[in-house]
Amino acid sequence: MLDHKTATLVPDERRPNFLPDLFGISRLIIAENMVYAFMEQLSRLDYGGGFWTFHELDGKPLFLAPSSKPRFRISWDGNGYQGEVSSEAAGIIATMFALSHLSFRFEDDRFSDGYLRLYEYAADHPEAGEIFQAID
C-alpha cells in the first residue's frame, strides 16, 4: 500500500495562481463562486463566508477549504447525508461538488482531471468515509 501524501497549504506568494491553475482563467469566477455556493448549501448552520485556504499536492492545485471554523456540520438533501467534518474535509466536499458540476457543464478536461485527482486524494483521507457519504 502506498503512503498517503498530505496536501500542503499554498504559500501566500503563490495564492494568486492557485484558482487560475485549478479552474482556468475563462471560468475562474464561475468556478470559485460555485465552490462557495456549494459550501453555503452544505453547511447552512455553520458556514457564513470568510477566508479560504488553498491546498495542493505535488505542486498541483487540489482543493479550497474554509477557515472560519475548525469543524462544519454538513447536510445534503440530494442523498440525505448529515454529519460533521473538519474544515479540510468540508472544503474537499465543496470542491468536489463544484468540479463535478463544472465537468458536466463545460467541455474542459481541467474539471474532470481536477475531480479525479481530488477523488484519489480523498480516498486516502482520514475522513474518507464522511467525504464519500456526502458526495454519493
CATH of the domain at 95: 3.30.70.3580
Q: What percent of the chain has pLDDT over 70?
A: 97
pLDDT-derived band at 5 (thresholds 50, 70, 90) equals confident
**Total count of domains within the chain:** 1
Gyration radius (Cα) of the chain, Å: 14
Q: Whole-model pTM? A: 0.94
> What residue has cell string 467525504?
131
pLDDT confidence bin for 3, thresholds 50/70/90: low
Tell me if 1 is assigned to some domain.
Answer: no
Domain assignment of residue 30, yes or no: yes
Q: Tell me whether residue 57 is in a domain.
A: yes
Contact 59, 10 (CB under 8 A): no
Domain that holds residue 64: 8-135
pLDDT at 2: 46
